[in-house]
Every structure is written in C-alpha cells, then in structure tokens.
Amino acid sequence: MAWLNRGARKNLGVGLIGLFVWGGLAWGQAPLLTLQPSNLEGKREGGSKNQESIRITCYDLFNAEPINCLVTATLKPLDPRTTTPAFFGGHLHTPDAQLLGTVENANDPSAGAGKSTKGNTLSGFTLVYTAPDASGEVQLETKWEPPFNYQCQNENEGDLGNFTNPCVGIDHFNIALLGLEELPPNSAYTVLRDLTDTHPQGTFGTPRTLKSLAVLAVIYGIATNQTRTLSINDMSLPQGGLFDFLATWKFPHDEHRVGTQADINQQGIPCTSDFALQAAIRAVGATRLCESEGRKHIDF
C-alpha cells in the first residue's frame, strides 16, 4: 500500500481526495514496479508472460468514504536521446517503436489489453501490467477524473491554489533481469561486435557464464598452441530480455535473453571444423550449436 504524491480537494476546501495504489512504491519514487521481461525463453510464439497488478482507489480523506474517480492509464515510450541510456536496457534506437507491454482492467476483462485502459474506482479498478519482451523503462501516465466539485492540486508545489482537473501523474515501470554483469577485459579473449551504435552494451552475462567463458578462452588458446584467440560477439544486454541486434524490436536473436549464451566469431574457421573450440566447450560443460550460416553459438 502506498501513497501517490498527488492530492485533490473540493473547490470550497471542505474535502480532500486520497489517491491510493496497492502493489507499488510511492508515486514519484522510481520505479513504481520492477519485473522481468516476458518471453525469456525466446519463443517466437507462446512465450511466458510476466505480469504484476496495481489496485487503484479514491476516497475522501475527511470521512474516509470511497468516492468514484475515473482513471485512465496509458503506456508511453521514453526517449533515449534525453534520458540515461541505462533506462533502455541497452536499446538506443527508434524510441517511438519501443516495446511497452500492455495494461488491462482486471475488473473489466471484456475491454481487453492494450496500450491504454480505464476504470472507475468504486466499481473496482485493478490495473494488470504485462511486461514486454525487451528490457528497459516504460512510462506510465495516469489521468484521474474526480467527482463533481473536486479538483486536483499538486501538494509538492506548495501552492494550494494550483488546481488542475483531471489530475495527471507520470511514473514508470522498470523491466529488467537483474544480476547480469559485463564481460571484463581479459588477455585470453577479444570482443568484436558490430551494430554497436544501437546496442553498445551487448556482452553481459551471469557471473557463472563470465567465469566459464574465461576458462573456455584459456583452454581454446592452449588447444590452438596460442595461434588463435577466442573472439566473442554478442552475449546479452545489460538487463536481459530481447536482443534485437538489427534494431527492429523483433527477432532474429531468439536467445541471448538471460545471460547464458555467447556467439563466437568465425575467425576463418567454420563452426563444424573448429575442433579446438569444440574441445574447450566440452571441457567447461557447455553446449555448442552451429547456427544458420555456420555461426558459432555457446550455451553455458
């Protein structure tokens, strides 16, 4: 249970509206909700959904009686050109097409899920948010329309005469797979990636993956008599989720979502003929997959 940093009162000053949410932090504190991206399995159809709920209600602060507010909740993208890049989970491209997930009114399932939904607090309004495949920050705008003779006033501005109607609140959800770490420099391997203007941070993984990859690189060097150094391409983004290396907010990277996969550059050696790599992969207990066009992929 948490306050919203918004208040409202009647025109004559004889009442206040309390705006309440259940399930998130206080309004204005970041983020309102944190949840993992959906479809971490990387399925093209039928991937699992990560969801959380927020219950919204209004009541009169003087008599504690519930009152009816019409609340409209709308998902909007943030702009990476004006916001800290970390908010985008490593995606620095086409903010207008950013995956936002969906919102729906659990008390009115017939309305369906989409980018916006609305509900009346007296009839019950539980907002269900479904996270998108991609990690990052998603903006949530709520408009509260109080009953007749109520107006909204921003308590933080300290001006009791600053009324607005309807009330408007801006907050955000954080979509993130936490606990991933960036691949550190190591003389046993190199990192060679392209398309870094849209995804500059693409070598994140779980601590176990990073350690295993470092050991694999050492074994690979020994197996090739130090004639080749392991060259690493894409792993995962800083907060996991969809890694759309073509910057389309869609596949082709099916995996690379949970920090346990790595692509290896060809270095002139076809995947099926790189026996040194195969031996190193077996030594660390990983698995190999020769993808289309002979690309080398490792699962840890």
Residue 36 reports pLDDT greater than 80: yes
d(CA 94, CA 97): 6
Q: Using CB atoms within 10 A of its CB, is residue 184 exposed (0-12), middle (13-18) or buried (19+)?
A: exposed
Q: Is 281 helix (H, G, I), strand (E, B) or coil?
A: helix
User: 212 CB contacts (<8 Å, ≥6 apart)?
Assistant: 284, 285, 286, 300
Q: What angle do CA 241, 245, 246 make, to 5 degrees?
A: 130
DSSP 134: B
Q: Average per-residue pLDDT in the chain? A: 83
Out of 3-17, 83-97, 193-207, 215-229, pick the least confident. Answer: 3-17
pLDDT at 211: 98
Q: Tell me the mean pLDDT in the region 111-123.
A: 93
**pLDDT bracket for residue 158 (50, 70, 90):** very low
179 touches 193 (CB < 8 A): no
Residue 157, pLDDT > 60, answer: no
| Tens digit of each residue's pLDDT (9 = 90 or more) over 176-212 | 999 999 999 999 999 999 999 999 999 999 999 999 9
Query: Of 144, 198, 175, 4, whose CA–CA distance to 77 is shortest?
Result: 175
pLDDT digits (tens, 9 = 90+) for 45-68: 889 999 999 888 877 666 777 888
> Residue 30's pLDDT band (boundaries 50, 70, 90)?
low
Residue 21 has pLDDT above 80, yes or no: no
| Mean pLDDT within 108-112 | 89
Beta carbons of 235 and 17 less than 8 angstroms apart = no
More confident residue, 98 or 96: 98
Cα 146–chain centre separation: 32
Confidence of residue 2 (pLDDT cuts 50, 70, 90): very low
Q: pTM of the predicted model, to two decimals?
A: 0.85
Output 287 or 164, whichever has higher pLDDT: 287
Instruction: For residue 104, count other CB atoms closer than 10 A to its CB.
Output: 21
